[in-house]
Amino acid sequence: GFSDKQTWTALPVRIIVPAQQSHPSSNEHTAASTATHQQSHTMSLSLQAGGSATRALPSAAGTTHTTSPITTGTSVLAVKYRSGVLLAADTLVSYGSMAKFKNARRLLPINSRTLIGGSGEYSDLQSVSDLLKRNALEDKCTADSLYEEENNEECAKEVWSYLRAVMYNRRSKMNPLWNDIVVAGFKQNDDGTTSDEPFLGVVDKIGTAYEDDVLATGFGGYIALPLMREKYRPDMEEGEARALLEDCLRILFYRDCRALNRVQIAKVTREGKVLVSEPYELDTFWDFKGFVDTKAGLGTDGGW
């Protein structure tokens, strides 16, 4: 119910009197318009305390730029080995804190010698992938010869450099692509053939870019990257590199609440092959003493 102490004050209401259906003379039309204009500004009724007779203004248009991510993927890990580059990521895309989509592929081949992996906003990653594939198709269609199309493909370093410009351009417009993107592959020689030197670089959402032998985005930059740097050797075999990435993904699953144990591994080889595995699940072990013991002696069930 309403309190006895509540009061009612005037809320401005604009009333417009419709014009007459007949066709008055010029003077009559001017007088009627003036009267209508005065009525629309002078008549008011209020229900809101402290109300005024000012006219209501239309609301401003909402922001249409990307100001925060909605559906996001977490870490991407990458490492060079003896004969190529390996990338790894899980297949989870989270909607806020909810594990929403569990079969999202975040390791994407661009051409026969370049592979990307992205964390962050998944729709922006799809947009970047479409852009790069469109460029690759354009290069193929505008090649001087159909028999030299491989030499017209962008190498990994060119894709990385191009993405750096794209990300910085979008950031400068205050409409960033909300991703950290790892680019893996091989450089190319002056004649356009694939070099024996592997390439691994990363670009973030504001256009910062760098190269390294081991890379990690997202939460993996805090947990997995120190472990990868400790175990890395330039002459690692593919099996060693894969085991290292799987161990890091398993630890991320234990420690990162946006990670999943359903993962993919992808590689680029000197032979010009880009291979992406089907998703598979990592074995996990939850009987560690730190996982089972009660916390702080509270007598809980051992959960965090």
| Beta-ladder partners of 199 | 185
Alpha carbon distance 256, 84 (integer Å): 28
Q: Which of 7, 42, 54, 63 is catalytic?
A: 63
State the distance between the two ends of the chain, measured CA to CA, in whole angstroms.
46
Q: Which DSSP string do the residues of 24-47 spell out, in sequence order?
A: --HHHHHHHHHHHHHHHHH-----
In terms of Cα–Cα distance, which of 88, 98, 66, 96 is closest to 178?
A: 66
Are the CB atoms for 140 and 152 separated by under 8 Å? yes
Buried b (16+ CB within 10 A) or exposed e, 20-51: eeeeeeeeeeeeeeeeeeeeeeeeeeeeeeee
Q: How far is CA 56 from the centre of its chain?
A: 38
Instruction: Give Cβ neighbours of residue 294 (< 8 Å, ≥ 6 apart).
Output: 300, 301, 302
On whether the CB atoms of residues 195 and 188 are closer than 8 A, the answer is yes
In sequence order, what are the residues at sequence separation of 6 or more whose Cβ sits closer than 8 angstroms to the Cβ of residue 86?
A: 78, 79, 80, 184, 238, 241, 242, 245, 265, 266, 267
Is position 66 annotated as part of the catalytic site? Answer: no
Element (H, E) at 172: helix 156-172
Residues known to be catalytic: 63
